[in-house]
Amino acid sequence: MMHLQTDVQVYTGYREYRISFTDIATKLIDQGLEIGGVSVYDVTLISLDEYDVTNSYSDLRKIFAVIHNFMEANNVILYCYCDTKGNVFKSKTHQHMSHQEFRCNLFQVIFEKFNVAKLYDFKTVILIDAEQISHYIALISESTKHDQARDVLTQSLEGIQIK
């Protein structure tokens, strides 16, 4: 049974997170977006620590496991808006990227690394606002079930104007 919002606390050994899954299908439809008849959940990863620590492979694996378990239990597309808040450590080769672009790329690499069975597809949608600033959204769906719905949502998102 699906709920409007589900929060999961994750302690990785070094960091503590809250991962929130929030049903945003009605919100998207109210904004005139097509979602392809599938529930869409926003996934938000929030650090509960007061200090910055680099995440280890084990940390990222535990976070992926929570996301995987949610997707396995629910028939949804996940929507993840990559934010611009705070500092993010970027190597010299990635300094040219905005925080959003870097986070989106990192999220995709992590997802692909742990997606061993190729159960999910990851689609990046880039929206450009009036000030020519790029906004990155990741759409994650089951590989075979939601390709069409994800494509409908992608096209709908790409057609909006950000103010």
Distance separating alpha carbons of residues 37 and 142, to the nearest angstrom:
14
In this prediction, residue 50 carries a pLDDT of: 67
pLDDT in tens, the chain (163 residues): 455 778 777 777 677 888 899 998 888 888 887 787 788 999 988 777 766 666 677 778 888 888 888 988 888 889 888 776 666 677 788 888 888 888 888 888 888 888 876 788 888 888 888 888 888 888 888 877 777 788 888 888 877 666 5
What is the SS3 assignment for 72? helix
93: left (phi over 0), alpha (psi -120 to 50) or beta: alpha
